[in-house]
Structures are given as C-alpha cells and as structure tokens.
Homo-oligomer: A and B are copies of this chain.
Amino acid sequence: MAVNNELFKGTLQTIILNLLSENERMYGYEITHKVKSITQGELLLKEGALYPALHKLEAEGLLETSTEVVDNRLRKYYSLSPEGEKEVVNKLQEARDFIQNLQLLLNLKPSF
C-alpha cells in the first residue's frame, strides 16, 4: 500500500466483495489494477495480500471461481456466491458504521 498503508488493514475483504458486487466477475490481477485506478495510485493492493484473501473468501463460501485461458494465460475469475451476496450487504453496513465512528473519534465529520 502506497500512502497510508496501515489504515487499510482489515478493509480488504470488504473492498473485494464490493468490487465483485459491482462487476459480476473479476480476476485477481484485474482487482489490483482496479483498486489502483479507483484510488489514483494511493492504495497499492499487494498480490501477497490479495491472493490469500481471495482464497480465504472462497474457502468460506463467499466466492466462486471459474478458470479461463485468455491469450494463452490462465485467468481465475471470482464471483459472489449467494452467501457472498448477503455478506457484502453486512460488510458494507459495517464499513458505514466504521467510517461514522472514525469520523466522530477524529472530529472529521463537519467538513462538508
């Protein structure tokens, strides 16, 4: 992670699940680039963090996979399982509460 490394700890699962709720299916390498482009390079999602996280979410039954060969290279596509669809709703609500509480604790609320 580029700028504020430490703070993003714990948000990775939520970020992955949300991207997949918007994009139907994505593969790992694509996710790292998507995160980079959305944050304009401020958050660099490391592969060493991403792949274990994807495997864990799959093992928990929140993600499903299908592999394809594109241009003679393997792609492992991930998509939300039915449980993943439910979980992303919870995770997003938790994220909203988290941001709310953090803004309260840091007096960042009334900036706009």
Q: For A108, what are the chain B residues with a Cβ–Cβ distance below 8 Å?
A: 92, 95-96, 99
Interface status of A67 (Cβ within 8 A of chain B): no
Q: For A103, what are the chain B residues with a Cβ–Cβ distance below 8 Å?
A: 99
- Classify the secondary structure of A's interface with B: helix
- Check A98–B18 contact: CB distance below 8 A: no
Q: For A97, what are the chain B residues with a Cβ–Cβ distance below 8 Å?
A: 3-4, 42
Q: Looking at the complex, which one of B10, B14, B99, B107 makes contact with A99 (CB distance below 8 Å)? A: B99
**Nearest-CB distance from A38 to chain B (Å)?**
5
Q: Looking at the complex, which one of B10, B99, B105 makes contact with A6 (CB distance below 8 Å)? A: B10
Q: Which 7 A-B pairs have the closest CB atoms?
A: A6-B10, A7-B98, A9-B9, A9-B10, A4-B94, A39-B101, A7-B10
User: Can you pick out 11 interface pairs between chain A and chain B where the beta carbons lie within 8 Å of each other?
Assistant: A4-B97, A7-B11, A7-B95, A8-B98, A15-B102, A15-B106, A92-B106, A95-B102, A95-B106, A95-B108, A99-B103
